[in-house]
Amino acid sequence: MFSDFHDLLEKNGGSVRAYEICARTARNRAVDEPENSTALFLIAMAAQRFVDSFDDQPISVNEVAKEGEKIGGYITNLSDAYNQPDPELKIAALNVVASSLSQKRV
């Protein structure tokens, strides 16, 4: 359901600008897809934190890979849950991602 964000990040080279596009796209989709708005908001938040943390800052390839894997994990977790009919799986995935985002800033 949200795997297109993986494609978007890859297509744009996984750069800070790619995450900026990802955040903007997720926010826009949240307006158009109210049934998915919470998941999309969390994806937007994770991507925007990446932008806020690394924009105009020197970053290593390792840092980008580490944070990219983390955000990619959020996207995969949410996508897998939203592809299932059980609403409890969706709630559990939302809680996992929200908890992770709350614990540490990217």
Three-state secondary structure call for residue 104: coil
Query: Residue 80's pLDDT band (boundaries 50, 70, 90)?
Result: very high
Q: What is the pLDDT of residue 56?
A: 85
Confidence of residue 104 (pLDDT cuts 50, 70, 90): low
Q: What pLDDT is recorded for position 105?
A: 56
DSSP 13: T
Q: Which domain holds residue 36?
A: 4-103
pLDDT tens for 34-55 read 999 999 999 999 999 999 988 8
Q: 46, 71 in Cβ contact below 8 A?
A: yes
**Which residue is it, tokens 């800052």?**
57
Could you tell me the two tokens for 54?
């690394």
Q: Which amino acid is at 61?
A: V
CA atoms within 13 A on the CB side of 97: 28
Q: Which two tokens stand for residue 38?
A: 């919470």
Q: How many domains does the chain have?
A: 1
